[in-house]
Amino acid sequence: MGAGKRGLLAAAVTVVCAVTVLAAPGTAFAAPTPTPAPTPSASPSVAPDKDLEAVREKLDGLYHAAAVATDQYNAAEEAADQQSAAIVALAKKIVKGQERLAELKKRAGAAAAAQYRSGGLPDEAQLMLSDDPEDFLNGAGRVLQGQRATKGLLEELTRTQEDLEQYADDASAQWEKLEANRKAKAAAKKKVKQQIAAAEELESKLEKKEKERLARLEQEAAYKAQSTWLDSGILDEINGKASAQGKKAVEYATSQIGKPYEWGAEGPGSYDCSGLTSQAWASAGQPIPRTSQEQWKQLKKIDIKDMRPGDLIIYNSDASHVAMYIGDGAIVHAPRPGRTVTIAGAGSMPILAVVRPDA
């Protein structure tokens, strides 16, 4: 790593450590302070590290499951919103179509009434009874125009009726999808709550010193992962400069630091991971998908060495977490329930891909 980058990184580490102390996993880059050896006065009730490590792994699993379910909830909610909008648009088309159909039927009725007033004879029959050549020729033109108008009227009536039937079918299909997504949303919501409740129950059983030691273990695990990532020399290759939109997105995301994580939230008071990144880019004038999985699927993938501030890093093999790269090997993200929006090491979690919203 270049001396300049190391200096910037060290400064960032100092600030982060000073502010967060024992914050969420991956909230600091510097090595955690070694745990002092137990003294005779230490509480014998503190669980051994191996037991706390098992707790940490279980908590990670529970919160990961909650993150997956949160993504499912957000996806179902987004789809339901889109389907609701589609149903409203179809309803408006149906109303307009019904008005048009009524108008066409009125015109058809007027034509039938005119024919009745002329003695019930069609225009063609009346034309054949004319002896005046000029009247015949003028009448022939009117008959031809009338035939075309009648044909056009009937064709438009048919098209309008067919359109109304299609709108009704489309609306019915959207209703079915909407109901399915409402069920999926409810199921995901239930799963999120169950996983978070299980994690909170597990944490509630820990003594104060065990919680402090657990936080230190989380910090150590994040530091180890970040150190391994930095030791690969990757940061020496990352020299990308933020785009104008990227700068705006970073400014938005970092201004949310300290706000609580809340699953399903998109601000302004709280966020989940993809709620933070999607709102940050929306503030920069670039709408992106709502969920981390869709951000991974739909946005352009970038090599890590080409990463620049504002790009999004997708984590875990199932794309269940997302953060925003802010430079110098750091990210800003909303970690998990019980945490706040914070700065962390870009390599403190397993990277799946880097994507660029404004590619």
Q: How far is CA 228 from CA 6, 224, 236, 348, in A?
A: 15, 6, 14, 9
Choose, from 56, 321, 336, 356, the residue flagged as catalytic: 321
Choose, from 12, 52, 273, 330, the residue flagged as catalytic: 273
Q: Which residues contact 185 (CB under 8 A, 6 or more apart)?
A: 73, 76, 77, 80
Q: In what order do the strands lie in the sheet with 351-356?
A: 300-302, 351-356, 312-315, 321-327, 330-333, 342-345
Choose, from 56, 189, 259, 333, the residue flagged as catalytic: 333
Q: Is 333 a catalytic residue?
A: yes
How far is residue 213's CA from residue 215's CA, in Å, rounded to a whole number? 5
How far is residue 19's CA from residue 11's CA, in Å, rounded to a whole number? 13
Residue tagged 């919160």 (tokens): 63
Residue tagged 């075309």 (tokens): 148
Query: Do the beta carbons of residue 331 and residue 225 sit within 8 Å?
Result: no
Establish whether the linkage from the previous residue to 268 is cis, with ω within 30° of 0: yes
Q: Is 64 a catalytic residue?
A: no
Helix or strand run (H / E) with residue 78: helix 49-117
Q: Which residues contact 162 (CB under 8 A, 6 or more apart)?
A: none
User: Among all residues, which ones are annotated catalytic?
Assistant: 273, 321, 333
